[in-house]
Amino acid sequence: MIIPNRWIALTIALVFCLSFLLSAGAGPLQRLEELEFGKTADGAVVRLFILRNAGGMTAKIMTYGATITELQAPDQQGNFTNVVLGASDFAAYRRGFNAAGSIMGRVANRISQARFTLDGVEYKLAANNGRHHIHGGPHGFGQVNWTGRALPEGPHESGVEFTYFSKDGEEGYPGNLTVKVIYTLNDHGDLRLNYEAVTDKATPVNLTTHTYFNLAGGGDCLNHVLWLAADRYTLADDELIPTGEFASVKGTPMDFTKGERIGARIEQLKPRMNGYDHNFLLAGDGKQPVLAARVTDPASGRVMEVRTTQPAVQLYTGNHLRHGGLALETQHYPDSINHPAFPSIVLRPGQTQRSTTIFTFLVP
């Protein structure tokens, strides 16, 4: 059989290109890598999982707190920088790194007076926010070492699954609770978090990530432009405990419905508050993720969109960090367990609580 010259030429060209790429060090994309990151005080090994996509994004998540430690994203010129507040070594987290991007639970946000009544039984929790309980207590889900497991890679994504078993009575909560959080990074620039929880006894559950974002990679977040799909927020007292009432954002510093620079009206919140720490109501159906927020850094051109199945999002502007980053905590309402009119966070045996939040990183 005689092979046409054009096929010979094409074969030679393909071999040349392949040889060039290999010689240049370009090989198959390593989408997932697992390393030892450190050890806890009791000697448990902390693992670090590195997720990569075809566009060059990198997400690093460790087992301690199922915490995002680094997230590299491109700007308009294709330059990458870390857009979350994190530490490069575990020693900082052991010392109590106060900007950790950890999973908050068993109940994120505040519970008034550090107590609640469920099915006629009163439960008392640790008061770690003045008189109140916050983010699951002093030894909540952000301060424990989860079990991490790399998931099979897809053609356009990689992921890691974190699980944690919270024993009955831990931090004062009832029921043995099994929690699963799956992080997935795909080639579209989506960092997706799928949450799942089951219990053997009725218990409140409200999971979120407390990751601080700074799309500029440094400085403060006051020049970031924020748009929120929320025209109402929960009113709260001076200790940030909801009163049970809702208010319109219209005509207030809480109005981000048309997009506004975060620092534009932040001075109006002082001296009562040093910045934003407010719960905004969303209008999703709880089944499919809906667009909740969009953050833009005008200087770099980076854009982050947030989609979620959760009914609310807490905007916190890193007030204890000189506004070095902002958190958009997708969640149920604060103190829901003490407000029957709020969407319920009670999980019962036989049920599975599921939610999804997606952070998408774009450049125009």
Task: Report the catalytic residues.
Answer: 210, 329
Residue among 39, 101, 94 nearest 70 (CA) = 101
* Distance separating alpha carbons of residues 155 and 176, to the nearest angstrom: 36
Q: End-to-end CA distance of the chain: give it in Å, rounded.
A: 53
The phi-psi region of residue 152 (left if phi > 0; otherwise alpha if psi is between -120 and 50; otherwise beta) is: beta
* Distance separating alpha carbons of residues 98 and 224, to the nearest angstrom: 22
Q: Quickly count: other Cβ atoms within 10 Å of residue 80's Cβ.
A: 14
Residue 68 half-sphere exposure toward CB, CA atoms < 13 A: 29
CA torsion angle for 11, 15, 18, 24 (degrees, to 10)? -150
Partners of 197 in the β-ladder? 179, 353
CA torsion angle for 262, 263, 269, 274 (degrees, to 10)? 100
